[in-house]
Structure 1
Amino acid sequence: MRFKARRIQFIVIMLAMVFAVAGTPAAARTLQLVGFGDSLMAGYQLPPNDAYPARLEAAMKAQGVDIAITNAGVSGDTTSAGLARVDWSVPDGTDGVILELGANDALRGIPPEQTEKNLDAIISRLKERGIAVLLAGMLAPPNMGGDYAAKFDPIYTRLAEKHGVPLYPLFIDGVVTQAKLQLEDGMHPNADGVGVMVERSLPVVKAFVDMISSGTK
């Protein structure tokens, strides 16, 4: 009888331990994002902590989001250059990528068909790896003319619809044409400009992160 009682007591203790472990929530994992783009993402002529990924990470953390955003922006990158490095610039374990490329294509007059083809391939590669994508759009500069803009500007909406990825229509929204928010070159945002970019894009990024966290990417 004593042995039986001890055996029952042992079983009860073991069951209690199992239920205790099962009822303990798993430790939250830091969400890993990568900002993949050109000088607009890299933070041209700005301190690292003023670049868009760093400012966005700080803004997200201020809202209670456990997140790390790596800056994989390279000044001067075209979509072709981005396609050539996407596999090694975006490490395994990345949950999502904010993809911002195409401005340098437009500045160099690269055929919009080639830009679209490259972005299409980048998105496809990331999705094949199970990495969610938030596509950041761009507009052709006015000096390229209306015909070029008519071919270039719709690229991002078309790709977002094709791949079923969220779109932030204009990455430099709120900064373009605002001299006080730009560097002297009139093309790149200054620190205040980056702040505006973060503020305006934050709701879209937050929705993107919520989508990843819910497993619906």
Structure 2
Amino acid sequence: MVVFCLGALLVAAPAQAAGPLIWALGDSLTAGYGLPPADGFTRQLELALRQAGVPATVRNGGISGDTTRQGRARLLWGLRGLEAKPDLVIVELGANDMLRGLPPEQARANLDLILAELDRRHIRVLIAGMRASPNLGPDYVREFDAIYPALAQKYRARLYPFFLDGVAGKRALIQADGLHPNAQGVRIIVGRLLPSVRQALAIRPK
């Protein structure tokens, strides 16, 4: 807000309307593990949105190593920390559950509770899904991969099926740890995810 002084009278000019606020709740993929802040997911997404004419602010709610249970545990204080109701929450969790071989039903239950709380608050959601590694066996893969479309249908949320689409398995796009995308990989993720983010922002809450 800009304040003008006219003699003894203070006149407050209305602040320009802010763009949408997006909160990305996730793990190291959201946090930008191994990358400078400017190359991380949330910063690249914010820049891509602004270049597309959407003056959004994207807040980083990623913590490396977080499972769905840990993401659920910090959901409420994370929302309070925003100090404003977000226009969209991107939920990107589950990779660490899968890498640790945790039961898919646990991941589903935790994600269900996260989505239920966001639904209760009438906050738009974009679910960024994950896929299980084939070496975990066909039963695990089937159960884990089914989590995200089922919950998206239950909560009528927009689904981006696989966060690492176009990057997973491509060594030139992955850091030396073999798991996390490098800056170029993040650019590809953001480019592919961007239409879903814009569409999710256009959906009016119930």
Return the TM-score normalized by structure 2: 0.89
Which residue of 64, 73, 98 maps to 2:62?
A: 73
Residues 9-88 of structure 1: pairs in structure 2 closer than 5 A: 27-88=16-77
> What percentage of aligned pairs have identical amino acids?
49
Which deviates more, 176-185 or 142-151? Answer: 142-151
Unaligned segments of structure 1, at least 5 residues: 1-25
Quick check: 1:194 aligned with 2:186? yes
Q: Map Cα deviations across residues 18-74 of structure 1 (whole Å, 9 max, x no partner).
A: xxxxxxxx9533211001100011000101111111101100000111210001100
Distance across 2 between alignment mates of 1:205 and 1:132: 10
* Aligned twin of 1:167: 159
CA distance in 2, matches of 1:143, 1:37: 24
> Aligned partners of 1:29 and 1:190: how far apart in 2?
31
C-alpha distance in 1 between matches for 2:51 and 2:197: 14
Q: Structure 1: which 4+ aligned runs deviate by more than 4 Å?
A: none
Where does residue 7 of structure 2 map in the other structure? none
| Preserved contact between residue 123 and residue 205 of structure 2 (Cα < 8 Å) | no
- In proportion to residue count, which structure has more helix? 1
Mean CA deviation greater in 27-36 or 145-154: 27-36
Query: How far apart are the structure 1 equivalents of 2:70 and 2:170?
Result: 29
How far apart are the structure 1 equivalents of 2:205 and 2:96? Answer: 32
Partner of 1:100: 92
Give the letter for the 2:131 counterpart: L
Q: Which has the larger radius of gyration?
A: 1
Per the TM alignment, residue 95 of structure 1 is displaced from its structure 2 partner at its CA by 1.5
What is the RMSD computed on CA atoms of the aligned residues?
1.5
What letter corresponds to residue 129 of structure 2 in structure 1?
G
Shift of 1:216: 4.2
Separation in structure 2 between the aligned mates of residue 93 and residue 32 of structure 1, nearest angstrom? 8
Deviations along 1:171-213, one digit per CA (max 9) or x if unpaired, are 01010000000001111000000000001111111111222xx
How many residues in Structure 1 have an aligned counterpart in Structure 2?
A: 190
Greater fraction strand: 2
Task: Select between 87-96 and 62-71 the one with higher mean Cα deviation.
Answer: 87-96
- Structure 1 CA distance for aligned equivalents of residues 46 and 114 of structure 2: 23
Q: Given the alignment, which residue of 130, 135, 141 partners 1:149?
A: 141
Give the stretch that moved more between structures: 192-201 or 127-136.
Answer: 127-136
Counterparts of 1:216 and 1:155 in 2: how far apart (Å)? 23
Q: Any idea what SS the aligned residue of 1:71 has?
A: strand
Distance in 1, Cα, partners of 2:72 & 2:131: 20
Runs (5+) with no aligned partner, structure 2: 1-14
Equivalent runs, 1:124-139 vs 2, <5 Å:
124-139=116-131
